[in-house]
């Protein structure tokens, strides 16, 4: 909330001519304006994005902010005490973008940590930390980074994020499902109803204000803030930022064959919701200004190169994808699965990927994306007659899946990082009986609740899928520990998410040796 008398006095001085810019002097904000914390993202060798959002009354409309531009000062230092300031400036927090601030800091030195902070109205934000990347192509021996996502607020607390914050990482890739678009009255962890551990404020999300509320509530979580304040995030979105299993094709939304939402809107109305959702995502993510939505679309695929060790292609598997075949869901394949025209990435993104993969000669060719690429048989009972596919993942689109695997076959050291499943697993990517790469699927921060070591039927699942090396149904995150000899992926799990704090352990490690396609468990 603002101090109204001070606001009016300052507003009068500023004249309130359009566009109004207030000088937010000391005492301007009645409450702490940096309530949603700070974040950094999209690191490069000379800088990164730093983010914050002014919200003195975070759950109120517009975060309790007046609808005027407010200047926010920022500074970057190599030391945690900010004795030396190496970059600083002022960025306008605009009401059109929820008073979010995205600063693309440049001119920094490569491969080292920096600290940053914001000031407005005499109030100072939490101190953030982020690392710059090594120079592209530079000789680099090691990289350690995190992978996480799927953080259904009602299913569990974010204790995993506090553990993630304590890891020594170069950056974190977030595969999406930062928010979920629905509220649940009950969860059924073992078939019996339990209450969600905490509730989303809104029953559903329709307009920009609703989506802002969901991000605001999520970011008020202090474990979430802890992780975002110490690691630069490379952020993606998946489906629940908008609606379960959405893809680019709107014509079929009226039919809603998957049956998840009988009230699904007609396509032209859904487009409006998507536009609001994309704007709110941008406003709350530490991403570059190139990702500002245009016409409701975000240009989210991008490349991250870590010296000469890793090149990582960050993909968008939602915005350009054809409708799920065979009516979506977990089902046996129908002929649509083999359609030659099917698209997952869309032609432009697929061409971009083809051009980038292997370019620059990094030791490891990584792909960071949302949905599983292994064509796994999802049966968990032996009496089910036919192979079952997850039609919302790559095996629902066999032609583009084979194109990408054929590309892997001509390269060395291809590693795919995936989310979406709310379980840990890893295995070999196989094309015509040849192992061409490795896939590590990370679990969820909270979605799915506490879970257990093995989901029911895991023995059948593993038996039916010889390429699968490991499966586990606990919550947590993944740490990739990469050097010239090997890529190690550690599956870090927590014992519970239904309690605010929990215990972390390393459940398993999958290893890919340099020059050997496929995974072995350490």
- Interface residue list for Fe ion (CB under 5 A): 150, 177, 447
Pick between residue 24 and residue 416 the one whose CB is nearest to Fe ion.
416
* Least Å from the CB of residue 208 to Fe ion: 22
Q: With contact defined as beta carbons under 8 Å apart, do 333 and 387 qualify?
A: yes
Which SS3 state, helix, strand or coil, does residue 102 take? strand
Q: In angstroms, give the least distance from the CB of 365 to Fe ion.
A: 26
Minimum separation from the CB atom of position 410 to Fe ion (A) = 32
Match 């078939």 to its residue by tokens.
Answer: 191
> CB of residue 422 vs Fe ion: minimum separation in angstroms?
6
The answer to whether the beta carbons of residues 267 and 315 sit under 8 Å apart is: no
Q: In sequence order, which ranges of 357-508 are alpha helices (DSSP H)?
A: 398-409, 458-464
Task: State in angstroms the smallest separation of the CB of 145 from Fe ion.
Answer: 20
Q: Min. distance of Cβ 35 from Fe ion in angstroms?
A: 26
Structure tokens at 77: 């230092």
Which contacts of 458-466 are long-range, i.e. CB under 8 A and separated by 24 or more positions? 458/380, 460/379, 460/380, 460/381, 460/382, 461/376, 461/377, 461/378, 461/379, 461/380, 464/377, 464/379, 464/387, 465/374, 465/376, 465/377, 465/427
Spatial distance between the Cα atoms of 116 and 234, rounded to a whole number of angstroms? 17
- Smallest separation, CB 283 to Fe ion (Å): 21
Q: Closer CB to Fe ion, residue 155 or residue 319? A: 155
Cβ proximity to Fe ion: between 372 and 447 the closer is: 447
Q: Which helix (H) or strand (E) holds 72?
A: strand 70-77
Question: Which residue lies nearer to Fe ion by CB, 118 or 153?
Answer: 153
Cα–Cα dist 94/129, whole Å? 24
d(CA 308, CA 240): 35
DSSP state of 321: P
CB of 48 to Fe ion, least distance (A): 26
DSSP strands (E only) in 3-66: 38-44, 47-53
- Nearer to Fe ion by Cβ, of 150 and 170: the residue is 150
Give a three-class secondary structure readout of 375-408.
CCCCCCCCCCCCCCEECCCHHHCHHHHHHHHHHH
Q: How far is the CB of 446 from Fe ion (least distance, A)?
A: 10
Phi (first) and psi of residue 293, to 5 degrees = -65, 140
Q: Of 128 and 448, which has the nearer Cβ to Fe ion?
A: 448
Torsion (CA) 425, 421, 495, 497 in degrees, nearest 10: 170
Q: Considering the complex, state which of residue 377 and residue 421 has its C-beta at the smaller distance from Fe ion.
A: 421
Instruction: Choose between 393 and 413: whose C-beta lies nearer to Fe ion.
Output: 393
Q: How far is the CB of 444 from Fe ion (least distance, A)?
A: 6
Residue nearer to Fe ion on the CB measure, 76 or 224: 224
Nearest to Fe ion of 38, 441 (CB atom): 441
Residue 5 forms beta bridges with which residues? Answer: none
- In the bound state with Fe ion, the residue whose beta carbon lies nearer, of 150 and 312, is 150
Token duo for residue 450: 């506490």
Q: CA-CA-CA-CA torsion for 223, 226, 231, 232, nearest 10 degrees?
A: 90
Gyration radius of the chain's alpha carbons = 23
Q: How far is the CB of 146 from Fe ion (least distance, A)?
A: 17
CA 26 to chain CA mean position, Å: 36
């Amino acid at each position: 909330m603002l101090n109204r008398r001070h606001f009016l006095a300052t507003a009068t001085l500023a004249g309130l001519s359009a566009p109004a810019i207030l000088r937010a002097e000391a005492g301007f904000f009645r409450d702490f304006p940096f309530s949603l914390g700070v974040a950094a993202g999209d690191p490069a060798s000379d800088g990164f994005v730093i983010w914050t959002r002014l919200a003195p009354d975070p759950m109120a409309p517009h975060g309790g902010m007046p609808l005027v531009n407010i200047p926010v000062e920022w500074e970057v230092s190599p030391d945690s005490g900010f004795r030396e300031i190496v970059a600083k400036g002022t960025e306008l927090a605009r009401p059109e973008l929820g008073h979010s601030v995205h600063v693309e800091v440049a001119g920094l030195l490569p491969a080292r940590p920096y600290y940053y902070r914001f000031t407005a109205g005499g109030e100072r934000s939490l101190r953030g930390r982020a690392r710059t990347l090594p120079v592209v192509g530079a000789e680099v021996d090691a990289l350690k980074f995190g992978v996480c996502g799927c953080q259904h607020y009602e299913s569990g607390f974010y204790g995993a994020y506090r553990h993630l914050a304590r890891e020594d990482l170069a950056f974190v890739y977030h595969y999406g499902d930062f928010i979920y678009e629905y509220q649940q009255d009950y969860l059924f962890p073992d078939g019996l109803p339990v209450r969600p551990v905490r509730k989303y404020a809104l029953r559903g999300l329709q307009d920009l204000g609703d989506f802002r509320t969901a991000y605001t509530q999520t970011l008020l979580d202090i474990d979430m803030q802890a992780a975002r304040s110490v690691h630069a995030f490379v952020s993606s979105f998946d489906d629940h930022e908008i609606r379960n299993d959405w893809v680019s094709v709107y014509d079929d939304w009226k039919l809603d064959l998957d049956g998840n939402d009988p009230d699904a809107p007609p396509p032209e109305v859904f487009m409006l919701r998507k536009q609001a959702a994309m704007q709110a995502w941008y406003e709350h993510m530490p991403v570059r200004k190139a990702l500002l939505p245009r016409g409701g679309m975000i240009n989210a695929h991008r490349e991250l190169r870590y010296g000469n060790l890793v090149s990582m292609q960050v993909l968008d598997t939602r915005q350009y994808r054809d409708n799920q075949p065979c009516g979506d869901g977990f089902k046996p394949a129908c002929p649509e699965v083999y359609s030659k025209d099917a698209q997952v990435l869309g032609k432009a993104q697929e061409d971009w990927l083809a051009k980038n993969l292997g370019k620059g000669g990094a030791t490891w060719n990584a792909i960071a994306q949302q949905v599983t690429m292994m064509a796994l048989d999802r049966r968990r009972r032996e009496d089910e007659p036919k192979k079952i596919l997850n039609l919302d993942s790559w095996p629902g689109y066999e032609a583009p899946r084979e194109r990408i695997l054929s590309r892997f076959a001509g390269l060395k050291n291809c590693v795919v990082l995936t989310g979406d499943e709310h379980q840990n697993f890893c295995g070999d990517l196989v094309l015509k009986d040849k192992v061409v790469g490795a896939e590590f699927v990370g679990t969820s921060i909270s979605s799915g609740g506490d879970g257990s070591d093995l989901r029911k039927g895991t023995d059948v699942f593993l038996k039916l899928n010889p390429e699968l090396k490991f499966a586990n149904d606990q919550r947590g995150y993944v740490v990739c520990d990469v050097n010239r000899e090997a890529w190690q992926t550690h599956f870090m799990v927590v014992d519970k998410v239904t309690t605010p704090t929990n215990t972390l352990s390393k459940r398993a490690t999958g290893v890919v040796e340099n020059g050997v396609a496929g995974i072995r468990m350490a």
